[in-house]
Structure 1
Amino acid sequence: MRLSLASLVLCVFGITTGEFVIAGILPDVASDLDVSIPAAGLLVTAYAIGMIIGGPTLTALTTRFPRRPLMVTLLVVAVVGNIASALAPAYEALFAARILTALVTSTFFANAIVTAVSTAPEGKQASTVSKLVFGMNMAMILGAPLGTFIGAQYGWRATFAAVAAVCALGVLLVIRLVPAVANAGGSAMAEMRVFRSRDVQLAIAITAIANAGVLMVFTYFSPLLTDVSGFTSGSVAGWLLVYGVGATVGNLIGGRLSDRALMPSQIGLLTLLTAALVVMWLVSTNVVLIAVMVFVLGALGFSVIPGMQSRVLSTAAAAPTLAMAVNASAYQLAAAFAGWLGGRVIDGSGLRSVYLVAAAVTVAGIALSGVAWYRDRLATDVDDSKVAVA
């Protein structure tokens, strides 16, 4: 089971490195393909749109496929997409290759989570999810910087070739080490019925809203540190690393806390996240304190993710894979909304105000989590009453 989980973590690392690494090689891509930086930036938007639309659609269409062959196929598509990116003769070809790769990302991640959780010991679901998310953390901390280094040394095409090689290794490991797990999904229309559940709707809404605040700060991380806190632009990469280390620590701790008490820990962690955002607003011009808070923000921002994923899995037991894919799309929508809202805040009130607005958005996530917890307690009381009557 440990080797299986390690294999899936490597696959998540490879496939999400392909998502994040474009930021570090964007100027080289723009220069080589003779397009502007904003045009090259649309490659990031294309990937996000591919995940938002393609993830739920592809997952719904593959609900009856056995999970291991499906994951192998998805990884093969990722290999092909990254090779096509490396060989792209023009901007349009690279744009299409990025969309192709994005289409399989959410579906693979959803199937990987369901496979890992289904083989995990009872009561260890959230911590198992946190270990898969660790692969995403490592993509931020190690994968993106390493891919940027490869691009600087050997050209941006070598970066995509390296990502393809990692995904190809993942194909071999999944075939060899990941157990066959049945996919009990029905037709696409039958799977869609799970979204009639108010609890499922709440779980996905919490992902979309509760993460938007911290994503807003992360989107404008560089100007907040340089223009408000006074750090040099050359130090931003180092602070991104600090943020990523904090995210890794918080993710693993959050998974353990969620195993013990899912909704209480989620509400508590979101409350701490809100407080951290307010503190960052207060100390934003103090370089020592803001440096500490960068680590704290990464830790708290990622500590809530395992619990949110587990909440979706527990409420959508009839169609967990599709629900996880939609949940991933909700996270991408949160990122898109965060970028838009942060821009409006900066235009209206200045950069520093991003921290306060992000805190207010996180409070909305706390409120939704409170409603979900209340519904859980109400359902438990009803069940206890029925048992007592019987």
Structure 2
Amino acid sequence: MKRLAYIGCLGLIGIITTEFGIIGILPQVAAHYKISIDMAGMLLSAFALVIAFTGPLLTLLASGFERRRVMALSMFLFFVSCIFSAMAPPFWVLVILRILPAFLQPVYISSAIAAAVKAADKKDEHKMMAIILGGISIATVTTVPLSTWLASVLSWQSAFVMQATVSLLALVSIWWLPEMPAGEKKSYGAQLGILTRADFLMTALIAFLMISAWFSSYSYFADYLGKVKHMNEATVSKMMLLFGITGVVGNWVAGKILGRSLAVTTAIFLVGTLLIPVLLNYSGGDTILTVTVIALWGFLYAPCFLTATATMISGAPDALAFANSLAISFGNLGVSVGTAVSGMVIASQSVAVAPWVGMLFGAAALLAILLRSVLQARWAKAACVAQ
């Protein structure tokens, strides 16, 4: 059911606009509240941390509710959060407003993906998932850079107004959908059972390390380009647009080759975490080279959510919604840890080191993929012997 997938995609655009739109305006927010850039980064890391620790539990609790109402409630919270954030409240209130919708973010995504996959033919499941998760790339190419541009020509508060508008559009579109009963509810024990599977846990570790790697640098994208590459706010918004455009292409390519080998696809795009820091350093003050590296950066970064989610879901097809929520949870834990660790390093060094922090996480993720492959071979051999 493509209409369901496209509406799910629109909702995800609203969610990602709210979650990651803050990245391009962190310097302005830090200046307004007279705080450091790493403290302003709490607006991203706190959001992600809430998702990481509450996502699976809330997804389990919501698994028996009608999916359309769950999705609508989620988008309503995002809309309200953005409206009040635009009023520039005290910083501690702004942090709370950022946290509130985070509780239902994984519930929305899990519900949308589970509903779309359930309505699709077996051969089209990955395509439906790619359409919904494509909202991440679309937001990266449209509304996220638009947030940065609005902040540069109007004010950082106007970025929140735009984010609220996108969430409202998504909320209205959800009511076009028919009712979507949750269907037969699996027992909590059956769903929690996937946490005892070593292969699934290894996949979760890979997802965590991979997203930590990318967000160690992407979370400070605007600050990095401004302070290291000496770009003004208008140019930074253009670079975010370019980053998003190539990200859409990267997501499309990953969607095409994902079915052939999840591990190989993930490893191919992960190599970027090792390559990009070197290329950024090599490009120096050369504008053309820097723009080229940013384009490649976006291409390699965008598929990280798709590959992480597809891999984790493939390991637990019998607990689809819960596995998806865990993918979101571990992914956002990666966002939070990557942002926080990089922020601490930036506080003691400079924003120039952020991509190198990402390289360390990326190397660890590649080692985890190799270890998982070795373990899978041993488990397969042991299974043959047992038979």
Structure 1 residue 310: Cα displacement: 0.7
Look up the equivalent residue of 2:266 and give its one-letter code. Q
Q: Distance in 1 between matches of 2:164 and 2:223?
A: 32
**In the TM superposition, what whole-angstrom CA distance separates every residue of 1:356-389 from its partner, at most 9, and x where no partner exists?**
4533431221222233344555666777899xx8
Partner in structure 2 of residue 36 of structure 1: 34
Look up the equivalent residue of 1:146 and give its one-letter code. L
Range that drifts further, 209-218 or 43-52: 43-52
Structure 2 alignment gaps of length 5 or more: none
Structure 1 residue 3: Cα displacement: 1.7
Structure 1 alignment gaps of length 5 or more: none
Partner in structure 2 of residue 130 of structure 1: 130
Structure 1 residue 301: Cα displacement: 1.6
Q: Secondary structure at the match of 1:248?
A: helix
Check 1:87–1:58 CA distance in 2 against 1; reply closer, same or farther (3 A cut): farther
Range that drifts further, 78-87 or 286-295: 78-87
Structure 1 residue 193: Cα displacement: 2.6
Look up the equivalent residue of 2:6 and give its one-letter code. A
Residue 235 (str. 1) matches residue 241 (str. 2): no
Q: Distance in 2 between matches of 1:55 and 1:89?
A: 27
Q: Secondary structure at the match of 1:55?
A: helix
CA contact (8 A) 2:152 2:234 kept: no
Structure 1 residue 201: Cα displacement: 0.8
Structure 1 residue 97: Cα displacement: 2.9
1:143-222 correspondence to structure 2 within 5 Å: 143-147=143-147, 159-177=159-177, 180=180, 182-222=182-222
Q: Secondary structure at the match of 2:180?
A: coil
**In the TM superposition, what whole-angstrom CA distance separates every residue of 1:213-246 from its partner, at most 9, and x where no partner exists?**
2222223434544554454565222222221222
**In the TM superposition, what whole-angstrom CA distance separates every residue of 1:168-187 from its partner, at most 9, and x where no partner exists?**
33234333236726354434
Q: Secondary structure at the match of 1:177?
A: coil
Partner in structure 1 of residue 98 of structure 2: 98
Partner in structure 2 of residue 266 of structure 1: 266
Give the % identical residues: 23
Partner in structure 2 of residue 61 of structure 1: 61
Look up the equivalent residue of 2:372 and give its one-letter code. A
1:233-382 correspondence to structure 2 within 5 Å: 234-271=234-271, 273-343=273-343, 354-376=354-376
Structure 1 residue 92: Cα displacement: 5.2
Check 1:158–1:227 CA distance in 2 against 1; reply closer, same or farther (3 A cut): closer
Q: Secondary structure at the match of 1:193?
A: helix
Partner in structure 1 of residue 11 of structure 2: 11
CA contact (8 A) 2:117 2:129 kept: yes
CA contact (8 A) 2:51 2:106 kept: yes
Q: Distance in 2 between matches of 1:344 and 1:86?
A: 28
**CA RMSD in angstroms, aligned pairs only:** 3.5
Look up the equivalent residue of 1:207 and give its one-letter code. A
Q: Distance in 2 between matches of 1:271 and 1:25?
A: 28
Range that drifts further, 88-97 or 11-20: 88-97
Check 1:175–1:99 CA distance in 2 against 1; reply closer, same or farther (3 A cut): same
Look up the equivalent residue of 1:20 and give its one-letter code. F
Range that drifts further, 315-324 or 339-348: 339-348
Q: Distance in 2 between matches of 1:380 and 1:169?
A: 48
CA contact (8 A) 1:52 1:332 kept: yes
Structure 1 residue 57: Cα displacement: 2.9
Q: Distance in 2 between matches of 1:154 and 1:229?
A: 23
Report the number of matched residues: 385
Look up the equivalent residue of 1:128 and give its one-letter code. M
Q: Distance in 2 between matches of 1:138 and 1:64?
A: 30
Look up the equivalent residue of 1:134 and give its one-letter code. G
Look up the equivalent residue of 1:36 and give its one-letter code. K
Structure 1 residue 209: Cα displacement: 0.6
Structure 1 residue 210: Cα displacement: 1.9
Check 1:283–1:152 CA distance in 2 against 1; reply closer, same or farther (3 A cut): closer
Structure 1 residue 89: Cα displacement: 6.3
Q: Distance in 2 between matches of 1:210 and 1:13?
A: 22
CA contact (8 A) 2:149 2:237 kept: no
Q: Distance in 1 between matches of 2:352 and 2:41?
A: 25
**In the TM superposition, what whole-angstrom CA distance separates every residue of 1:318-337 from its partner, at most 9, and x where no partner exists?**
33322322322322222233
Look up the equivalent residue of 2:330 and give its one-letter code. A
Q: Secondary structure at the match of 1:211?
A: helix
CA contact (8 A) 1:129 1:255 kept: no
What TM-score, normalized by structure 1, do the two folds share? 0.82
CA contact (8 A) 1:4 1:179 kept: no
Q: Distance in 2 between matches of 1:91 and 1:349?
A: 25
